[in-house]
Structure formats: structure tokens, C-alpha cells
Amino acid sequence: MGNLLDKLKINHRPRSGALDLLKYIGPGLLVTVGFIDPGNWATNLAAGSEFGYALLWVVTFSSVMLIIIQHNVAHLGIVTGLCLSEATNRYLPRYVSRPILLSAMGASISTSLAEILGGAIALRMLFGMPIKVGAVIVTAACIGMLLTNTYSKIERWIILFVSIIGLSFLYELILVDVEWGAALTGWVKPTFPENSMLIIMSVLGAVVMPHNLFLHSEVIQSREWNLEEEPVIRKQLKYEFYDTLLSMVIGWGINSAMIILAASTFFKNNVAVEELDQAQQLLVPLVGSSAGVIFAGALLLAGISSTITSGIAGASIFAGFYGEAYHHKDLHSKLGFLLSFIPALLIIFIVDDPFSGLLYSQMLLSVQLPITVFTQVYLTSNKKVMGKFVNSRSTTLLLLLLGTLVTVLNVALLVSLF
């Protein structure tokens, strides 16, 4: 009888294969949204319009870096069943964990500011709507989605949005004359054109974002994968890596498409793009009115989806103060995404020039990001937290190296702003 039960137990374990992998697709795509948010749009368009295809390698390098760091924080969620904020609250002294989570909450507000503003700019492009009115509409729509949707529904919306954004850029690339040989060289050959360091640092510095680290671990732990036996957990770690890899490749493709579009239109015509509105207006005479509308529509979807993920991250961080996981019906989670959205919306109303608000928001992110990265590395390298799944020494060294690189880039970017 015992042997029969063992066989039955083995037969009911999840099977490997393509269909099995589909169950794990989703968390990485939520993170990808932060990789293609309005801030990235502006940076990529500037890179392509000023330097052509030369800086495509930065997207390749930053994508590889992101895969490693995001997989590591997902590793934490799978093994412990805790998101990054819960683990910080549980395993660090209160006098350390509280400042970390407070600074992370500030970073979530800064991120929401950029995302809401991006959606509002898209509404102005499409309908001539004032920025402040558009910001209210974007915020209200995202609050409504977060109050009424579960994780699975939000993941479906995000997958849909990312798909539409990707298809939009594919369509626009069809309309322009791309020098694919130059693009291929740009993807793999690092070059540093004169006066390009600010753009390079901006692209690299904007990829690894504090709220995405909290978000990825939150979505992973919500699935309670840690409740399985060790062989299943190991398989989950493998499939989660595939999800992260697939999602970051999609993000790499969309970001690359932005640079290629700008290089094939603006750089080719010696036009430098400094604002998103300007890019849409210039696309119309160069490519056609449909391209301008599709560009604005894709930006609106990017703004809405990235605002939603920023809200989930804020809710996760705030719930972590109380040792709780995110849940859309939980009071602390509701307060969390409201605390992320409302201050961001108020800043848009108070600051005469919203783009100066963006400047200060990026400054805060630059200061907070190293705190989150090194907190994550400490937790995933701690045997008390991770048990037998603790980082190897080589993994820890690699993560510390990447964390240091991200810190240096963000500090350099911060200094360059002054």
C-alpha cells in the first residue's frame, strides 16, 4: 500500500513541458511594465534621436543585468513565501527595517508620479486634455482596477497591454526604413559617442527600479509556491527564471524598437527629441498620422499599466509594515496604493512645471535604489532566511557587483543633474 501511495503521489506532481511552463508566465510581465514605462520612453527616444543605433547595446546590457537581479528577488518569494517588504520586516531589526520601508514608500510615490504623468501626457496627445485633468482620470482608472481586480485579472490586463504596446511598435517599424545592419552592430558592440554618457547612465539607471523588486517578490509569493516539497520548489525556481527571461526579452525588444524608431526617423533627419509630446508631433509629418495616434495610444497603455504595477508595489510595501502580504481587499493594501497615488497626484497639481517634479522624483529613486538592492542581497545571502536555497558565494559576489554598478550609475546621474 505504501508503494502504491508513493506512486500516486509522484504521478500527481506537476509535469514538465511547455504547458507546465504556461502556469508560471505572468509575474515577469508585470515587472516588464516598469521596464517600458513613460520614463523609459523618453530616454530611449532621446538615445535614438541623438545617437542613432549606437546605444542599442545599453538596452542589451541593462536587460541582462535586470534578469539577474529580478530572478534573485523572485527566488526570495518562492523559497520563503514572503515578499521583500515582509522579509525586511521579519528579519531586520525594527530600527533598520522601518527606515528602509519608509524610503521604499517614498520611491513608490516617485514612480507613481512619473507613470501618472506619462498617461496624462498621452491623453493630451490624443484628446488635447489638460495634464491635470488627465492625471485625475489615469489615477481614478487605476484605483478602480486595483479595488476590483484580483492578481489573475490584473495579470491578464497587463499581458494584453504589453502585447498591444509591442505590436504598436512593430507596426511603426514597418512604416520606416530601418538599417538593420547598423542595428545589429549597435546591439552587441559597446560604443561611447561624444556627449552620450548622460543618456547611457539614464538608460541603465532607469532599468532596475525599487518598486519592481518589491513587486516581483510580492506577485511570486502570492502564488504560495513555497508550500510545495523541495523538488517542486527547485522546478519552480527554474520555471520562474524562464518567465523572467521571456519577460525581459520582451522588454528588451520593445525598448530596442523605441530606439530604432527614433534612429530611423528623428536621427536620420537630424532632429533631437527632448519630450514625448514632441516625438508624437514629429512622427506625423515623417511617417503619417496613424503612426502618431498609435504612438500616443501605446503610451497611454504604458502609463496605465505601469501606474497599476506601481500601486501594487506601494500596497505591498505598506502592508509589509504590518507583516502582511498584499491583497486587494485588505485595508492596509488599499491604504498602500492610495498613499502611493494621492501624493503623486498632488505633486502634479502643486508643481507649476510637472517635469520639474519628475526631476525630483528621479533624484529620490537614485538615492533609494541602492538601499533596496543591498537589502535584497543581504536577505537572499542569509542562510537563516533562505535555508539550503541561500545564494552561492559567486552569486552573492555577482549581485554585489551589480548593486555597486547600479549605485555608481545612479549617483553619477544624480550629480550630472546639477
In a domain, 60, yes or no: yes
98-105 mean pLDDT: 94
In a domain, 300, yes or no: yes
Total number of domains constituting the chain? 1
The mean of the pLDDT values for the chain is 83
- Contact call for residues 347 and 139 (beta carbons, < 8 A): no
What's the pLDDT band for 201 if we cut at 50, 70, 90? Answer: confident
In a domain, 36, yes or no: yes
In a domain, 282, yes or no: yes
In a domain, 9, yes or no: no
In a domain, 208, yes or no: yes
pLDDT at site 333: 93
The CATH number covering residue 54 comes to 1.20.1740.10
pLDDT at site 5: 38
Give me 405's grid cell: 554598478
In a domain, 5, yes or no: no
User: What residues make up the domain containing 198?
Assistant: 24-416
pLDDT in tens, 236-266: 777 888 888 888 898 899 999 999 999 998 8
In a domain, 142, yes or no: yes
The Cα–Cα gap between 169 and 293 comes to 12
pLDDT in tens, 27-73: 667 777 777 777 788 888 889 999 999 999 999 998 898 899 999 99
pLDDT at site 26: 61
Q: Could you count the other beta carbons within 10 Å of the beta carbon of residue 189?
A: 12
